[in-house]
Structure 1
């Protein structure tokens, strides 16, 4: 299978990156092809809201890295999205990238109803936040970020088969072995 991993964390050695790389290793060991994209390292312009992508089927902005990510989304069999939780949501760079992905994520019916373009593909969401458990859920930090990602992926046809949450990361030196194991095991869903 061809799996796309989107790392929404700007920290290449951070908790999200560690969990995503653990899942990546497991996928490769099982013979999958994996494309790993550090969203904060790519260069792309923000969506300008022109809505031309809806009729053209692709973004009309000048060619940039968002167009390359769009091609990876089209050809993937599954996706893993990881993000730190910022104010109860995904990272800004990841949200900006998804804003540019509308044309490759979903189409529209003649009644302007979203038409998913990735039906049958699986997805995994990995989040981390400094808020300790259970307050990350009670304060809706983690759950709001997951909800935003589930909405994007769901309208696109991806079925979110698993979520991994790492709470209470403030002062955490290393990702706990239990969380790394969960990331490895979650890769089995593909």
Structure 2
């Protein structure tokens, strides 16, 4: 599971830095198209949160941009997605709301 906040419709710099440092571990760079090093049986679950409330977060692509960046990294690694969960309107929340926790549990237990 990777959880990252939404920073201007993308992942924060620390997550991008992690991707940069791991790319040689998860992707084989040869003379042709990069080949994944991780087995498809390995799966990932993504979570992001942003301050913009729904539907503003969806209409402006805030959470979508963050999830797209994370999915792209894992796609090239060879891993398969378990799902993605976006928590819009997180500004005033001290914890994940019950409905977001339920979405995560459902995606986790389906695999």
Question: TM over 0.5: same fold?
Answer: yes
Who is 1:118 aligned against? 38
Who is 2:76 aligned against? 155
Deviation at 1:151, TM superposition (A): 0.8
Deviation at 1:189, TM superposition (A): 4.0
User: How far, CA to CA, are the matches of 2:106 and 2:5 in structure 1?
Assistant: 20
Who is 2:25 aligned against? 104
Who is 1:140 aligned against? 61
- What's the Cα RMSD here? 1.4
SS of 1:101 mapped into structure 2:
helix
Output the TM-score relative to the length of structure 2: 0.90
Who is 2:9 aligned against? 88
User: How far, CA to CA, are the matches of 2:8 and 2:19 in structure 1?
Assistant: 18
Deviation at 1:110, TM superposition (A): 2.7
Change (3 A) 1:185 1:118: same
Change (3 A) 1:186 1:144: same
Deviation at 1:122, TM superposition (A): 1.3
Q: Number of paired residues?
A: 110
Which string of whole-angstrom CA distances, capped at 9 and with x for unpartnered residues, describes residues 1-30 of structure 1?
A: xxxxxxxxxxxxxxxxxxxxxxxxxxxxxx
Change (3 A) 1:117 1:138: same
Output the TM-score relative to the length of structure 1: 0.54
Deviation at 1:106, TM superposition (A): 0.3
